Amino acid sequence: MTLIKKERLPQLDVFRALALLGVLNVHASSYAAGVQALSSPFYYVYNFMNIFFKYGTSSFIFLSGFVLFYNYYERPITIRLISRFYGRRLLYIILPYLIASTAYFVYSKYTLGQLNSRPYVELWLELRTALLTGTAYTHLYFVFISIQFYILFPFILKLLQSKRSFVRWAILIGIALQWAFVLYNKYNLHLLNKGSYAITYLAYYMMGAYIAINFGRIKSWLMNPWDLLTDGQKLWTVTLWVSWLASAFVHVQLWYYTRTTGNTVGSLWYELIWNVHSMLSALVLLHATFVIYRKLFSKGVAFLTRMGELSFAIYLLHPFILAQYRRFRYQISPESIGYLIFILGGLFVTLFLSWGIIQFYFKRVSWSWVFLGNVPRSLSPKAKKLAKQVKKQSTELSS
């Protein structure tokens, strides 16, 4: 197999930023969209935030599949390659996951008053189960799913490398296996935390793999401006965005109807519309990412790029910041406009306070990668040293 050096795609940090905004919107609106603000005149806003943006986790899974297969598909599988692959994931994903899970577990038990009232052996057994199921805190299932996909990756990679004909059917295979699990769980397994299993997101992962492997064929659609696209590409673009908006609207309306009336439809309908909405969202985000990177002013791109670089660390930290923020609600009525401002404020406070704390630690604490993951190149000590050297040289030349 010929080794081809892959072009770096800086646009993907913008994708991470957009996916992260989806996650933050859902989490910031979760209480309001549940039962707290059901009688509020602004309830549609809360429901919209909570459902329209429900593409974050699935988009991150899609991106994970894309990045892995983009970087590794043309590379022969060797012991050295696999050992380096797992070594980096162990240090920058699994270790922060274990630390974050333990910290959130202790925090949740402390807030419930169970830390000192229950036997430590019992707590340890519960923590062990939480670590092995991604349930130590509400958001950690995503990291647990990612770890499962890291375990599966070499096997899927080898299969798609050795059976090239499977690549053509990769998305359909992912959808079929995902829905086989959905149906089996509904009628047989009855797992309450099915979202903690990688197969629940297999369609997104395989779609990412398919697009990565065929990136050379679709690159012009992403890179070229509208007037340079072919008629077929323009038709596909319009169809994609219209279909996405339609599915998102149906998804929002379905949950608005359910929450405001108390009436439900079959559970598979919720699964189906979410699946369609989130799969189209991943494709729309990919397209939007390249448009934003090409058209947005440089400071806007730099802003989103830095957010994307910090997205994993922000994902780990933001629920704790949000929980502390919610303690300041006091007597704000859920029906008031003040509550709307409070919910929107939670979105921005959570993002920027998490961002500021993480950036401080990455810059000041050399071992911050242990609990926050990989340090972005732009914040690493080497980058800072190089920046100082460049600044010093430019000063000498201008003097």
What mean pLDDT comes out for the span 189-213? 94
- Which pLDDT band, with edges at 50, 70 and 90, does 399 fall under? very low
Mean pLDDT throughout 96-101?
97
- Residue 275 domain-assigned (yes or no): yes
The pLDDT, as a whole number, for residue 385 is 56
Residue 143 lies in a domain: yes
Q: Is residue 127 in some structural domain?
A: yes
Q: Is residue 367 part of a domain?
A: no
pLDDT (0 to 100) of residue 389: 55
140-170: pLDDT as tens digits: 999 999 999 999 999 999 999 998 889 999 9
In a domain, 55, yes or no: yes
Q: Is residue 215 situated within a structural domain?
A: yes
Q: Is residue 355 part of a domain?
A: no
Domain count, the chain: 1
Kindly report the three-state secondary structure assignment for every residue of the chain: CCCCCCCCCCHHHHHHHHHHHHHHHHHHCHHHHHHHCCCCCCHHHHHHHHHHCCCHHHHHHHHHHHHHHHHHCCCCCCHHHHHHHHHHHHHHHHHHHHHHHHHHHHHHHHHCCCCCCCCHHHHHHHHHHHHHHCCCCCCCHHHHHHHHHHHHHHHHHHHHHHCHHHHHCHHHHHHHHHHHHHHHHHHHHCCCCHHHCHHHHHHHHHHHHHHHHCHHHHHHHHHCCHHHCCHHHHHHHHHHHHHHHHHHHHHHHHHHHHHHHCCCCCHHHHHHHHHHHHHHHHHHHHHHHHHHHHHCCHHHHHHHHHHHHCHHHHHHHHHHHHHHHHCCCCCCCCCCHHHHHHHHHHHHHHHHHHHHHHHHHHHHCCCCHHHHCCCCHHHCHHHHHHHHHHHHHHHHHHC
Residue 337 falls inside a structural domain: no
pLDDT tens for each residue of 205-259: 999 999 999 999 999 999 999 999 999 999 999 999 999 999 999 999 999 999 9
Q: Residue 197: which domain range? A: 11-317
